[in-house]
Amino acid sequence: MATVTAAVSLSSDISDSTINLTKTSTLTKAGSSKGLDTSTGLARKTFTAVTHVDLVSAASFSAGSNKVYICNSGSSSTEYVTIALGNNAADGGTAAEPIGRLYGGDWMYFPWDGGVDITITPSVATETVVDYMVIS
């Protein structure tokens, strides 16, 4: 049984009282203390079109307590990728629901039950490099 930990450290001086928050979780299977034991590895994909496509296909994963990490590895403050949940443009049907934009250097980490695809739309057709990993 593998042991995987994910930690976040958030620091902010927006308000007068500084926020310093650290949270560490051990990634386990749904409703269990058994560790998640499968991974895509840290994948890297380069996008060169402003096209709405799948980044992670739900068909490749089982429902469960999966965790997803996605990072826009670029450095541009104006170029971004939009991450959404649902059908991509070619799939048709109900359009994917946008979660948000990852600008250069931004990352996201979230639980994913594997029920719908995770899609991506780059803002520019010049190379956008995205790192991502699913731990399931």
Partner 1 sequence: MATTATITINSADLTGDALSITKTATFNKAGSTTALEQTTGVNHVIYTDASADQLLINGTDYGTNVAAKVYIANLSTDETEFLQVNIGPAAMGKLYAGDWMVIPYEQHDAANDIDISPSVATKMPIEWAVFYE
| Interface contacts to partner 1, rule CB under 8 A | 2-15, 19, 21, 23, 25-26, 28, 30-33, 36-37, 39, 41-42, 65-67, 69, 71, 77-78, 80, 82-86, 94, 96-103, 105-113, 115-116, 133, 135
Element (H, E) at 61: none
Among residues 121, 9, 7, which one has the least CA distance to residue 67?
7
> Which pair of structure tokens corresponds to residue 23?
């949270």
Phi-psi sector, 36: left (phi>0), alpha (psi -120 to 50), beta: beta
Residues in the chain: 136
Compute φ and ψ for 27, nearest 5 degrees. Answer: -80, 120
Task: Decide the pairing of beta strands 19-26 and 118-122.
Answer: unpaired
